[in-house]
Structure 1
Amino acid sequence: MIELGGGAAAPAQDANIKDVSEQDFMAEVVDASMQVPVIVDFWAPWCGPCKTLGPMLEEAVKAAGGAVKMAKVNVDEAQMVASQLRIQSIPTVYAFWQGQPVDGFQGAVPQSEIKAFVDRLVQQGGGAGADQGNGLEDALTAAEEMLEQGAASDAAQTFSAILGEDEKNAAAYGGLVRAHIALGELEQAEAILNGAPAEISKAPELEAAHAQLELAKQAAGVGPVAELTAKVEANPDDHQARYDLAQALYAQGDGEGAVDHLLELFRRDREWNDGAAKAQLTTIFDALKPNDPVALKGRRRLSSMIFA
């Protein structure tokens, strides 16, 4: 790896591969990653390994057919962004999804590792996976509607039937876990999650179900909302009370209130309890649907604080 130094700009790329400046980093990386994963290549024109890695990344991104995008950031011209993300040597590659870094590596790596890196992002962004056919898709839609309407038992039966047809259907596995969480059967939910086939164990649907399960476990030990609210109002710097209040609010179905308090805690002391506020926010965002307004707004606010 090469230490940072000076250089000039690189030529622009195609629609899915862009040169990104410090001024448009928020729009082209953080905001854009709300819709599709964005790979950020931190490079400089004087960096030899960058000249090898860059084209290999571009080839893999092009092969993904729009399921991921790539932002090329010249560290000489974007020193503030490089500093905020603690880029100390190049090439360094980060992947952003839903407004936050989710993966990355340093140095030149083989093409096979680059392909695996991009494939993971495609899967995380929902761009990969086989077509399950209209019948299973319709059944999945129906099961999700049952779950939203409170018919968790019927939803669980429908998700189980789908898995009978397609045992590696990640959406059905995640739905079955969520149905048992809704029924209060946390041990059963955990057993189903642990029994998922290895091929789909890291699928976004199962990651979301795992996050929901963790939040449901936490909810068992939270105190009354009124009591915790009074504590926070009496002492806004009582970080533990604010954190507990966020847990209690989420347990009562007030995700927006929980996110607001966790963001306030992050604003006041982002390092408190080893970064507990950010970690809890990430768990809540993972538990919500990617297009949930609470998740979208919360991720953007958190990213704005991080990159401010």
Structure 2
Amino acid sequence: MLADTQAQADSLVKDTTTAAFRQDVLAESMQQPVLVDFWAPWCGPCKQLGPIIEKAVKAAGGKVKLVKLNIDDHPQIPGQLGIQSIPAVVAFNRGQPADGFVGALPESQVTAFIERLVGPLGPGAVGEILEEADQLVASGDPAGAAQLYAEALGQEPDNIRAIAALAKLHLEMGDLDAAKQFLAMVPADKANDAAIAAARAAIELAEQAASLGDLGDLEQRLAANPLDHQTRFDLALALNAHGKREEAGDHLLEIIKRDRAWNDDGARKQLLQFFEAWGPTDEATLAGRRRLSSILFA
């Protein structure tokens, strides 16, 4: 799924050469408009425009593609088109130049340029996709939801909501490595976003639970010695890994009730990590917080 998501985004942006220009631009523009970004490594404004135009093209969701041509390595095409200043962007439609601009424009103007070619992009498009994906999760269709989250991520590669959702979905489907790879896509300035923190907590819990062994064995050990707080603690982690949130919370609450100071208040701290991973509006979180408050403030 991760590879498919990246491929969708990558297919909208590519580098070209003089030899490949006819196929990459002229032929491809028969399907949808193709923007050609004429640039050079020494050009400062080109470096400013590059990420902006790539983001805008990906946000257009396949209605337009971007082809980049290094004029130092391939001067023939820009020479034929009379490109005298860079960055320069020329839009091709049905094999012919249709529009263009020169200079590093801000994102809003680049988006407006694309909309002149393809019509309104619909600012709510990604949001609608995410809402539909959330509904599929709620209805028990994780595979269908993952496809929609991936579609949203193809349009907005830094969409935190989609990244977090895909990380948690892959974790629930048992693919811990893929879940970690999605979290690695998060920009540093958004690493503490609540949705990302929840996904990270869920991954950490899954890693903790992986080494605990069989649920039945833990349950038998606890039945033999109900005062074995460590076994009860481990059982809570294992139950959570199996999706039994309320039971997992109950065991941690039982430790807190019996011995608040056990393991340096470890049961309460673990319960708070459960709440973070489950999300603030999850029924198990809400019920657990009520019971925790009744214990702490009784």
For this structure pair, what is the TM-score category when the shorter chain's length is used for normalisation? 0.5 to 0.7
Q: How does 1:2-13 map to 2 (within 5 A)?
A: none
Q: How does 1:248-263 map to 2 (within 5 A)?
A: 248-263=238-253
- For the Cα contact (< 8 Å) 2:253–2:292, is it kept in 1? yes
Which of these two proteins has the greater Rg computed from alpha carbons? Answer: 2
Q: 1:243 aligns with which of 230, 233, 238?
A: 233
Give the TM-score, by structure 1 length.
Answer: 0.53
Distance 1:300 1:133, change over 3 A: farther
Q: Which residue of 2 aligns with 1:267?
A: 257
Q: 1:172 aligns with which of 143, 162, 169?
A: 162
Aligned to 2:263, the other structure's residue is in SS state helix
Q: Deviations over 1:120-179 (max 9, x none)?
A: xxxxxxxxxxxx943222211222233344543433332122122223322111111112
RMSD after superposition: 2.1
Equivalents in 2 of 1:194, 1:266: separation in Å? 35
Q: Which residue of 2 aligns with 1:155?
A: 145
Q: How far did 1:199 drift?
A: 2.8
Q: How does 1:29-108 map to 2 (within 5 A)?
A: none
- Please state if 1:215 is matched with 2:215: no
Distance 1:226 1:183, change over 3 A: closer
Q: Which residue of 1 aligns with 2:275?
A: 285
Q: 2:135 aligns with which of 141, 145, 158?
A: 145
Q: Deviations over 1:248-283 (max 9, x none)?
A: 221222100000000001111222223221121111
Q: 2:195 aligns with which of 205, 222, 240?
A: 205
Which region of structure 1 is more displaced relative to structure 2, 221-230 or 291-300? 221-230
Structure 2 residue runs of 5 or longer lacking an equivalent are 1-121
Aligned length: 177
Equivalents in 2 of 1:238, 1:245: separation in Å? 11
Equivalents in 1 of 2:264, 2:184: separation in Å? 27
Aligned to 1:304, the other structure's residue is in SS state helix
- For the Cα contact (< 8 Å) 1:186–1:213, is it kept in 2? yes
Aligned to 2:165, the other structure's residue is in SS state helix
Q: Which residue of 2 aligns with 1:38?
A: none
Equivalents in 1 of 2:190, 2:143: separation in Å? 24
Q: Deviations over 1:187-214 (max 9, x none)?
A: 2211221220123211111111111111
Amino acid at match of 1:271: A
Equivalents in 1 of 2:232, 2:149: separation in Å? 37
Equivalents in 2 of 1:158, 1:276: separation in Å? 38
Q: How far did 1:290 drift?
A: 1.7
Q: 1:190 aligns with which of 180, 184, 188?
A: 180
- For the Cα contact (< 8 Å) 1:250–1:258, is it kept in 2? yes
Distance 1:290 1:277, change over 3 A: same
Identity score, percent: 41
Structure 1 residue runs of 5 or longer lacking an equivalent are 1-131
Equivalents in 2 of 1:201, 1:304: separation in Å? 33
Q: How far did 1:231 drift?
A: 2.0
Q: Which residue of 1 aligns with 2:220?
A: 230
